[in-house]
Amino acid sequence: MPEASTAMVDDAKTTDITRNAVVLAGGKGTRLAPFTSILPKPLMPIGDKAVLEIIIDQLAAHRFLEITLCVGHLAHLIRSVVDDRINGRISVQYVHEARALGTAGPLRSIQNLEQTFIAMNGDVLTTLDYRDLLRAHQECGNALTIATTARTTKMDYGVLHLDGSVHPTVRRVTAYEEKPESVAMVSMGIYALEPRVIEYIPENEYFDFPNLVQALLSEGEKVGSYVYDGAWFDIGRHDDYEVAADAWTSMSPNGAVDADGARRGLPLSAVEPRA
């Protein structure tokens, strides 16, 4: 069952689309081992903050004042860091996964998701405007909208294009590319969802977001892609983490990563609820 933090938001009215965000922070982060054997991936440091601290600061700056953390691996460390940071401006509740439930599975255990909400991985750094994602999601009438960006992948080998067989062991070469690059639109690990989507997630079963997308599409629900071309880093691998840490800290001395610094990456002490 969700467990609420003792630090609660002030009783303030807001005209925002929603106040709710879910951060998925329960994975073991095996690709970042051995670091993640003693430190959960969302607590990996970026400058003088953990990734999760930056995410919560950003969500609070965008007026997401009710945040649910889905935790599992080394959950006590996550709670210790977060509870020390939230200074009464937001409400945080925790959903503990007794076993791994995938990227979408934990959403089924969260109570009171009655409005459109954001769900996101706890290892993502981005300058995405979460409110703009929500607005676009609702304007399009989607059940689920996936924040999407272009990702370039470089092949480490020369790639041959082959035609029909001219010999039992030989095919004709029609072209040869040296270490080509390909571009694909990939999920950023950030989603806008309608509450009814939860009904498509089975209880206490492993269920990833690709499974959820297929379930929605098979029932005729609308699934959209919100295309974003700004900064985005996934720290899931050693190389990605090192690149993200260097790039993020170089963007701004305090990790507030855009020219509109009053909107993103603010410390929670600077965030005042709207009247």
pLDDT digits (tens, 9 = 90+) for 136-155: 999 999 999 999 999 998 89
Domains and CATH numbers, the chain: 3-148+185-270 (3.90.550.10)
Amino acid identity at 191: Y
147 neighbors 190 (Cβ within 8 angstroms) = yes
What is the C-alpha end-to-end distance of the chain, expressed in Å? 31
pTM, 2 dp: 0.81
Q: Which residue has the higher pLDDT, 18 or 226?
A: 226
* Band of pLDDT at residue 20, cut at 50, 70 and 90: very high
Q: Which residues contact 260 (CB under 8 A, 6 or more apart)?
A: none
What is 56-71 written as a DSSP string? HHHHHHTT--EEEEEE
The span from the CA of 260 to the CA of 28, in Å, is 34
Q: Which two tokens stand for residue 99?
A: 């076993």
Directed axis angle between helix 75-85 and helix 51-61, to 10°?
40
* Band of pLDDT at residue 117, cut at 50, 70 and 90: very high
* Band of pLDDT at residue 252, cut at 50, 70 and 90: low
